[in-house]
Amino acid sequence: MEDLLNLGGRQVKSRLLLGTGKFSSYPVMQKALEAAASDIVTVALRRVDMSTQTDNILEYIPKPCILMANTSGARTADEAVRIARLAKAGGQGNWIKIEVVRDNKYLLPDNLETLKAVEILVKEGFIVLPYMSPDLSMAKRMEEAGAAAVMPLGAPIGSNRGLKTRELVEILIREIRVPVIVDAGLGSPSDACECMEMGCAAVLVNTAIAIACDPVGMAQAFGEAVIAGRRAYLAGLASAANEASASSPLTGFLRDEAR
């Protein structure tokens, strides 16, 4: 049976969600999206710059992809709700990544405002994926409020530092029923693989791919790492031990008995 990700009432193949920020150009971004084979892609909303004619990003996102707008820039639940409604009016579906940040230095999410936004937007029929600090109580509340997933950070946004929140994310994986998707901070394919090996349902990556020397090659590498990590999780990792356990026979002909 094919291993699909059940998320927001949809079933998708790829467990690598991709962000579209910071790419050097939309054509490069498009090639990276194709190389990663992502099914779910995030975008942001911004004021139109009247002084320049800019390309429409939507034309560079492969058509079968599910588009998920984020609420970046929001500092309160009300602002996140406003952005979500604008995104829906943009005609690209009702998936929304809630991102409420009041701290400009670390860009850490405000879980309380995020929860308030989740409660409102779920009632309005949105598929809501909250970006959050990995706190079990809050994750449970997000789940109870109807979040389609919880998205704990691995490290601060754009920091490429890897899964610094591992122990807390492991608790979420054990205790939360909706998919746990590590979002933010993953810097290398091995970070993504680590998340998948420990049982995350998916990961969301942007900066590590967008600012790599070869974003298209890096997108493919992340895609492969996510597949490998997921396979390892499904196969069940062998247990670790403090002492050696020979993988080749030690006895046979040099001496009678292993010492």
Partner 1 sequence: MILTINGKQVPVEKPVSLDALVAAKGLCPEKIVVEHNLCIIAREDWPKITVKDRDMIEIISFVGGG
Residues of the shown chain interacting with partner 1 in the complex, contacts defined by CB under 8 A = 19-23, 26, 29, 42-48, 50, 53, 56-58, 69-70, 72, 82, 85-87, 89-90, 92, 157-158, 184, 204, 206-207
Q: E strand or H helix at 10, and its extent?
A: strand 10-12
Q: Helices 189-197 & 215-235, crossing angle to 10 degrees?
A: 20
Q: Is 251 helix (H, G, I), strand (E, B) or coil?
A: coil
Catalytic annotation on 88? Answer: no
Give, in degrees to the nearest 5, the angle at Cα 186 between 184 and 188: 155
Q: Are strands 66-70 and 95-98 parallel, antiparallel or unpaired?
A: parallel
Q: Is 71 helix (H, G, I), strand (E, B) or coil?
A: coil
Q: E strand or H helix at 166, and its extent?
A: helix 166-175
**Which token pair is 69?**
């707008």
How many angstroms from the chain centroid is the CA of residue 210?
15
Q: Are strands 10-12 and 5-7 parallel, antiparallel or unpaired?
A: antiparallel
DSSP letter for 235, please: H
Pair 135, 142: CB distance under 8 Å: no
What is the smallest separation between the CB atom of 53 and partner 1, expressed in angstroms?
8
What is the smallest separation between the CB atom of 258 and partner 1, expressed in angstroms?
54
Q: How far is CA 258 from CA 101, 241, 244, 247, 249, in A?
A: 61, 20, 14, 14, 9
What is the smallest separation between the CB atom of 46 and partner 1, expressed in angstroms?
5
Write the single-letter amino acid at 128.
V
- Of the residues 97, 105, 116, 164, only one is catalytic, namely 97
What are the catalytic residues?
A: 97
